[in-house]
Amino acid sequence: MELINAFSVSLQAVWNDSGFSVFTMGNGIMILVGLVLLYLAIVKEFEPLLLGPIAFGCILANFPRTGFLTDPGLMQAIHYGIANEIFPPLIFLGIGAMTDFGPLIARPSTLRMGAAAQIGVFVALMGAMFLGFNVQEAGAIGIIGGADGPTAIYLAIQMAPHLLGAIAVAAYSYMSLVPLIQPPVMNLLTSKREREVVMEQMRPVSKFERVCFPVISAILISLLLPPIAALLGCLMLGNLFRESGVMDRLSDTAQNSLCNIVTIFLATGTGMTMSAEEFLIPQTLLIILLGLIAFIFGTAGGVVFGKIMCRWSGWKINPLIGSAGVSAVPMAARVSQVVGMKAKPGNYLLMHAMGPNVAGVIGTAVAAGTMLAMLK
């Protein structure tokens, strides 16, 4: 009898110490959300390299009594890397090493389209303030319109860390849905004649220009907006690795091994901020809606400015490339190519669209720096 009582007490102790004893409906809902995101990442291939780790991090975050964020260990180290803005600049180092700024250098006027596409950021900012978010939260939500996950995370950490999970999921979700969201907006705002415009071949870009561009950009932007010096500095350093011709090993490491490792940590750590207590709030749905509005207005802003440049240039610029001004590289540029090819087979817009596309990366970072300087 004593043996049975001892066994019963042991079972009760195990149950009391387990996660099951404090498991809530909210935890169950968030684990289900994580499984849905995993489905979208693996089966539908929606940004699988990012959405997959985010989804699994979401599942891990909703296991009670793990002590992931309070006890020393790997998970706390990952959270430290996010909370202290270590991972987003490292991601930008890899992006810089993978990015060809040649189309932007060859046609600097496309920088204006990248700037025009940032209108979505400020539309969402004003909308968020109208709906009752404070100015810091509104700024963090608005940056979703730039379709740049690392920048959205970077800004959210500094301005609204409690909204990080919802902002990151919205940003990466809309990045993956670029081929579905952008074409209707592009077709609505352009005429058949505009979509059929054939652009002239761009001039060749010298190695001297390619090497000078990241150095000069880093100096000017960092002096103008010090809050994003780490982000833009790493982007341009990675690009310098690529273009110098003498740092191939560093370039290869930055765009492959380093970028992949940091992506795992950044995405998993972001998912681990999606606990039921912080994610299952009314503001989450508003953030997702505002992110969609920001993305649509950003696409529209780039296309409308593309129409202006089309007329200004004497019908030498196809306004479809303006949609690539959001910084979903290179997916947005590919969408411009696909829509252009449907309007006129053989009309290759990909390299032309890469100009506003990489300008959008810089533009989103500058928009983030502006909000940090003005609103934080």
Q: Is the CB of residue 268 less than 8 Å from the CB of residue 78?
A: yes
Q: What is the pLDDT of residues 231-252, one digit of tens each?
A: 999 999 999 999 999 999 999 9
Q: In the prediction, which pLDDT does 301 show?
A: 94
Is residue 18 in a domain? no
**Rounded-to-integer distance, Cα 173 and Cα 51, Å:** 8
> Which DSSP string do the residues of 208-246 spell out, in sequence order?
HHHHHHHHHHHHHHHHH-GGGHHHHHHHHHHHHHHHHSS
Is residue 75 in a domain? no
> Which DSSP string do the residues of 334-373 spell out, in sequence order?
HHHHHHHHHHSTT---HHHHHHHHHHHHHHHHHHHHHHHH
Is residue 80 in a domain? no
Q: In the prediction, which pLDDT does 1 show?
A: 65
Q: In the prediction, which pLDDT does 93 show?
A: 96
Is residue 343 in a domain? yes
Q: Is the CB of residue 322 less than 8 Å from the CB of residue 303?
A: yes
pTM of the model: 0.89
Mean pLDDT in runs of 10 for the chain (376 residues)? Answer: 71 75 90 93 86 92 87 89 90 94 93 91 91 92 86 91 87 82 94 93 94 96 92 96 95 95 92 88 89 92 95 93 88 92 91 93 90 82
**Rounded-to-integer distance, Cα 324 and Cα 175, Å:** 12
Is residue 11 in a domain? no
Q: Is the CB of residue 229 less than 8 Å from the CB of residue 368?
A: no
Is residue 284 in a domain? yes
Is residue 5 in a domain? no
Show the domain range for 273: 88-375
Give φ, ψ of 301 to 5 degrees: -60, -45
> Which DSSP string do the residues of 33-44 spell out, in sequence order?
HHHHHHHHHHTS
Q: In the prediction, which pLDDT does 280 show?
A: 87
Is residue 161 in a domain? yes
Q: How many CB atoms lie within 10 A of CB 191?
A: 11
CA of 157: how far to CAs of 160, 206, 283, in Å?
A: 6, 39, 17
Q: In the prediction, which pLDDT does 204 show?
A: 93
**Rounded-to-integer distance, Cα 45 and Cα 30, Å:** 21
In sequence order, what are the residues at sequence separation of 6 or more whose Cβ sits closer than 8 angstroms to the Cβ of residue 45? none
> Which DSSP string do the residues of 227-293 spell out, in sequence order?
GGHHHHHHHHHHHHHHHHSS-HHHHHHIIIIIHHHHHHHHHHHHHTT--HHHHSSHHHHHHHHHHHH
**Rounded-to-integer distance, Cα 206 and Cα 74, Å:** 45
DSSP 315: S
Q: Which residue has the tokens 């290869």?
A: 252
Q: Is the CB of residue 343 less than 8 Å from the CB of residue 196?
A: yes
The count of structural domains within the chain is 1
CA of 217: how far to CAs of 206, 255, 342, in Å?
A: 17, 20, 36
